[in-house]
Structure 1
Amino acid sequence: MKIKRIDTNSRMSQASQSGSLLVLSGQVSEGSSVTEQTTNLFNNIDVLLHKAGTNKSNIIYANIFLTDMDHYEAFNAVWDGWIDSANQQSPSRSAIQVVRLAKPEWLVEVQIFVAV
């Protein structure tokens, strides 16, 4: 089976597709707060989904990594505005507190699995 890769560099691909499953690498973003970082990374996800020919309504599952669970409600406030739950498009997900992400200034990382 052929694998399609999107936004690839020498180390990784931002997204990889096999058949009807698209997996996005953990998405992070700059910003001074978890709200700003979450908003920016969702914009990045929207761009990658567009490049793959799909959209957020087809997200199956999301892994959410927070460096502090005290940011959970701020993250959810942005998530709730991004996901179309009124049309039953809320994917399955998990939220996990981690000790640290790859850069200490990153507060949140989101990895998603999408049907295409």
Structure 2
Amino acid sequence: MTVQRIDVGDRMSQAVIHGDTVYTAGQVALGAKGQPVADQTRDILERIDALLAKAGTDKSKLVSATIWISDMTTFDEMNAVWDAWVSPGNTPGRACVEARLASPEFTVEIAVIAAK
């Protein structure tokens, strides 16, 4: 089975396709500094939509999502954006944990796995 990589960098690929499964790297908001959690979440989900499109799939085929947020008090704010974005009736398995992210300006990071 082949492995296809999307937006390959020195450290990681933004997405990897193996068989009929697409794995994204954890996505953070570009220009996150000073953005509220809702705006960061929107930015991330737009990036995920673009990666899934490059891989030949979309959010209706999500199987799993992992969300890291830097402060659980922002859980409802993040969820409001997530709930408006996720495909109704096609919600993935999901985990959400509080974690210190790579840089203090990042308040949300999301990685997904999708079927093709």
> So what's the TM-score if we normalise by structure 2?
0.94
Per-residue CA deviation, residues 29-83 of structure 1 (Å, 9 max, x unaligned), is 0331100000000000010011001000000000010110011000110001101
Between the aligned partners of 1:27 and 1:72, the Cα distance in structure 2 is 17
Task: Name 1:45's counterpart in structure 2.
Answer: 48
SS at match of 1:73: helix
> So what's the TM-score if we normalise by structure 1?
0.94
Task: Name 1:113's counterpart in structure 2.
Answer: 113
Between the aligned partners of 1:22 and 1:49, the Cα distance in structure 2 is 8
Between the aligned partners of 2:53 and 2:87, the Cα distance in structure 1 is 17
Between the aligned partners of 2:92 and 2:2, the Cα distance in structure 1 is 26
The alignment yields a C-alpha RMSD, in angstroms, of: 0.8
1:65 aligns with 2:68: yes
Amino acid in structure 2 at the alignment position of 1:19: G
**Mind listing any 5+ residue stretches in structure 2 that lack a counterpart?**
none
Between the aligned partners of 1:96 and 1:38, the Cα distance in structure 2 is 15
Per-residue CA deviation, residues 3-30 of structure 1 (Å, 9 max, x unaligned), is 0000001111000011011100000003
Amino acid in structure 2 at the alignment position of 1:96: V
For residues 1-116 of structure 1, the aligned pairs below 5 Å read 1-29=1-29, 30-31=31-32, 32-85=35-88, 88-98=89-99, 100-116=100-116
Q: Which deviates more, 24-33 or 41-50? A: 24-33
Give every structure 1 segment of 4 or more consecutive aligned residues whose post-TM-superposition deviation is greater than 4 Å. Answer: none
- Identity across the alignment (%): 41
**Mind listing any 5+ residue stretches in structure 1 that lack a counterpart?**
none
What is the number of residues matched between the two proteins?
113
